[in-house]
Amino acid sequence: MTKKDSSGNLGVKLAWFAAAVSALVAPLAGVLVALPSTWAPGTVGGLLGEEMLDTHQKAKDYADRSIQEALQIWAESTTNWQVMLDMNEPHNNMTLEARRITEGPFSKSGVLLTRQVGRVPGVSAQDLYDFLISPEGFAVIDPMSDPVDFDKYIERIPNWRRGGRLEVGESYVPSSSFSNELLFVVLNTFLPAERLFVSKSILHPSRPGHSIFYDGDRVAAGENGNRTRVINTYALQVSDSADGVAEVKIIGYIDGFPAWDFLINYLTCKIGPSEFFPRLHAALEARRTADLDVM
C-alpha cells in the first residue's frame, strides 16, 4: 500500500482555503469602502471654513458666527439627518445622526458632519460642563492629544463677551510611519453661562499654513512645512433634561487626515461615538473615587 502524502493534501487544502477567503474578502472590502457613500442620502448643508484671524475683531466676529452655526445645526430638522447610532445602555445612552456637507469649502470632502446627544446620570449639568472643558475632560474628548495642550493658548482675545473666553490654540498628533505630524490650529470659544464650548479650525499669522480645503489666498496663509493641517469643527453644550439628568449635545467634523473618506466616516459615525460616553462615565467614576480617597 502506498502511503499518502498528507503534507501535499494539507497544501491543497490551505491553497483552497486561501482562495476561498480571498474570494470573500475582496467583495466584502468593496462593500465596506462603498457603504459610507450611501449614508445620509439627500441631506444637505454647509459648514464655516478656515479664515485668517489676524485681528481681535476678526476673531470675535468668527466666534459669534461659529456659535450661531452650532445652534443652527442643533436646531436642524431630523429629516435632514440620518440616525447612525441609537444606543440605550446604562453607560452609553446616546443617539448619533449624520448629514452630508454639500455647500462651502468642504463640499468635496466626503466626510459626514455628525451631531449626537447623550444622557449622563449622576452628575449635575454644571459639574459635567466644568469637567469637559478641563484638561481631564479634553483627554476624554480627544484621547489622541496631550491634555496639557488644552491649557495652552497661542493668543487670548480680550473683551469679548461677559463671562466668556476666547482663545487661539493648537494641538498635535505626533508623526508616524503613516503620516507627518498632524497640526490643529483652532479658535476655542467658551460660554460658561450657556454651558457651551465651540472649537473651529482657523488660520493665524503665528502658525503659517492651511488645510487642503482652504479656498482663500494660500500664498498669504503660508506653507505647512512638514506638518499636515487637519480640519476640526467641534461643539458641545450641556443642559438638564426634563427629568433632571445631565444631557450633552455634540457636533463633530474632522478631515484632512491622510486617510480615505470611508475610513474617517466609520471612525466618526460608528467607532468613535460608541466609545465616548463609556469613556466619559469611566473618567467621572475615577474622579469620584479619587475625591473619596482624599476625604
Can you give the pLDDT at residue 293?
Answer: 60
Q: Find the distance separating the first CA and the last CA of the chain, reported in whole Å.
A: 83
Give the number of other CB atoms < 10 A from CB of residue 13: 10
Which pLDDT score is estimated for 182?
Answer: 85
**Residue 225 CB neighbours (<10 A):** 12
Q: What is the per-residue pLDDT across 26-42, written as a single tens digit (0 to 9) for each?
A: 444 555 555 788 899 99
Number of neighbouring beta carbons within 10 Å of residue 286: 11
18 vs 152: CA distance, rounded Å:
52
pTM for this one? 0.85
Grid cell 444622557 is found at: 119
Q: Report the CATH superfamily, name and number, of domain 42-293.
A: START domain (3.30.530.20)
**What nine digits make up the cell of 206?**
503665528
Judge whether residue 73 has pLDDT over 60: yes
pLDDT in tens, 177-223: 677 888 899 999 999 999 999 999 999 999 999 999 998 888 888 88
Residue 14: per-residue pLDDT = 46
Q: Which residues contact 250 (CB under 8 A, 6 or more apart)?
A: 114, 115, 116, 117, 118, 234, 235, 236, 276
Non-local (6+) Cβ contacts of 285 within 8 A are none
